[in-house]
A = this chain, B = another copy of it.
Amino acid sequence: MVLTPPDGSTRLIPIIGDPIAQVKSPGGITAALHARGLNAYVMPAHVSPADVYRGLAGLSLLRNVDAILATVPHKFAAFRHATTATPRAMLLGAANVLRRNQDGTWHADMLDGVAFVTALRQAGCDPAGKRTLLVGAGGAGAAIALALLETDVSVLQIHDADPTRRDALLDRLRGQGTGRRLTGSDDPSDSDIVINATPAGMRADDPLPVKADWLTPDMAVGDVITVPEITPLLATARRIGCITSTGVAMFTAGRDLIVDFLLGT
């Protein structure tokens, strides 16, 4: 779509990250906001980890900044910069979006997990009651794990190359949802849904994050990677006949969720 050019009344929505060149929100979310009739632009704001708190403080002083988006590695800093937050953001200690409270302070939410589940549903797989294997207990994995428990999966297995990180996440999820929480492995055999939330698959020579040969056609397979859109894991899953959900679909679902959050709808 053709964007309305910016003018003096344009609201500014910075997306902070380091690096920043890879982000798609400036084009995608700006277009979505314009489609809803808002004179607002999402703009990249490249800030290093050493400068992120002072950068957030400076951006917060701008009276036409109504929202701030955060990407890697600033989702934790964004959460800590906020005064109020949704329960899921508080549990995760991370935020990918901030909007103003009436007093000018920030309200945080973390929509990555919901975005993944939304994309999975749109692909034709409802996780309620399903056994799931999640590989990767970092920021994206934690958000997805919480969203899966909130949709009442029956079993959530978590696997990570770092068992300490895996156990810390399992510990943090105690008391969330009714599903059983287990340590997992790279064996997908006992699962209905298999999810990669690690960087494995961004490069062609990355090892597969799970034993893809053991996938069966009744399983659903999801990935968080956006480039390439079809990772080797997803390519294998499609060959077998699995339902698949891509990182691009997750990004698109997340974009709509961010717009809803920004508009308070």
Contact yes or no, A26 B6, CB < 8 A: yes
* Complex alpha-carbon distance, A6 and B30, angstroms: 8
How many copies of the chain does the oligomer comprise? 2
For residues 13 through 42 of chain A, which have their beta carbon under 8 Å from a beta carbon of chain B?
A: 14, 20-24, 26-27, 30-31, 41-42
Contact yes or no, B20 A64, CB < 8 A: yes
Per-residue contact bits, chain A 157-170, to B (CB 8 Å; 1 contact, 0 not): 00000000000000
Determine the residue in chain B with the shortest Cβ distance to A5: B27
Interface check A83, CB cutoff 8 A: no
Interface check A204, CB cutoff 8 A: no
Name the B residues within 8 Å of A22 (CB-CB).
Answer: 8
Contacts A5-B27, A6-B30; A62 near B41 (Cβ below 8 A): no
Interface check A225, CB cutoff 8 A: no
Interface check A174, CB cutoff 8 A: no
Contact yes or no, A21 B3, CB < 8 A: no
* Residue from the list B6, B24, B55 in contact with A44, Cβ < 8 A: B6
Contacts A54-B57, A57-B54; A6 near B42 (Cβ below 8 A): yes
Interface check A88, CB cutoff 8 A: no
- Among A43, A57, A59, the most chain B Cβ lie within 10 Å of the Cβ of A43
- Among A5, A30, A31, A59, the most chain B Cβ lie within 10 Å of the Cβ of A5
Cβ distance A192 to chain B, nearest Cβ, rounded Å: 36
* Complex alpha-carbon distance, A51 and B65, angstroms: 14
For residues 43 through 63 of chain A, which have their beta carbon under 8 Å from a beta carbon of chain B?
A: 43-48, 51, 54-59, 61-63
* Complex alpha-carbon distance, A47 and B64, angstroms: 8
Contact yes or no, A62 B42, CB < 8 A: no
* Complex alpha-carbon distance, A58 and B9, angstroms: 21
* Complex alpha-carbon distance, A91 and B146, angstroms: 60
Cβ distance A246 to chain B, nearest Cβ, rounded Å: 19
Contact yes or no, B62 A46, CB < 8 A: yes
- Nearest 7 CB-CB pairs, A to B? A58-B58, A6-B26, A8-B23, A46-B63, A51-B61, A46-B64, A5-B27
15 more A-B residue pairs beyond the given contacts A5-B31, A7-B44, A14-B62, with a C-beta to C-beta distance below 8 A: A6-B26, A6-B27, A6-B41, A6-B43, A8-B44, A10-B26, A12-B44, A20-B64, A41-B43, A46-B64, A47-B63, A48-B63, A54-B58, A56-B58, A58-B58
